[in-house]
Amino acid sequence: MSKLKSVLMKHRRYLGPAALVLAVAAIFWVVNSPDIVGVSAASKELPIYSVQRDNKAVSLTFDAAWGNEDTQTLIDTLTKYGVKATFFLVGQWADKYPESVKALADAGMEIGSHSDTHPHMAKLSEKQIIDEVSLCSGKIEAITGGKVELFRCPYGEYNDQVITTVRNMGIQPIQWDVDSLDWKDLSADDIYKRVTSRVTDGSIILFHNAAKHTPEALGGIIEYLLKEGYDIVPVSELLLTGEYDIDNTGRMTPRA
């Protein structure tokens, strides 16, 4: 379309002002019309970044891919405040630390898949995507006896094929709208400030189970959220039931 527009502009003296305006307007209409197949850009498939809620509810989520030094400390802190969080586990991590997988389940934490080998999912074929998700889910389910219904892409990377494939498996892909950046070894105070300054109704907050200062920051963050009147719930309880839409920011909204 850009080439066509360039040609029209190049030959504008032959078209005349009125014809040129009409031609450019026609190009704009064609490019932006959602009803013209093959011309309009397809809507992008998005995971859920946040959720539109009628009440003040948020979810704390933790990705577990490498270390395991702090998992039990995180469980203890969450349990102290009566909070249930969602942990996204890599299959190979579950292989190394099955006792921690069971400890998470026994503590009532929700467990989702974070792939089996932590690859760049957007570079995989459909079959490879299915294998990564299902292998990880199978390992978790074998340990916990529960069904895995959530998935988070490693590195937060995805494309339309990844999201469509995962949803076709009956699993909901979950992203986040508040990133603690704890993996950058921020201080506990900086983690606290990042999260508390960005959280809003329906937020999904990202942490990591082996980040250096997350255990130190977590208690204060929970206290802040509770003081501000937030309900802290697992992701599955944050999600809407019934028909929904996902807007261009990845926010899950009830269908009007």
CA distance 225 to 28: 47
Closest CA to 204 of 246, 250, 170: 250
- Please say whether the beta carbons of 103 and 72 come within 8 A: yes
Catalytic member of 63, 70, 116, 182: 63
208 is catalytic: yes
Catalytic member of 114, 118, 208, 213: 208
Side chain identity, residue 199? V
Neighbours of 99 (CB within 10 A): 12
177 is catalytic: no
**Largest interatomic CA distance in the chain:** 77
Q: Which residues are catalytic?
A: 63, 208
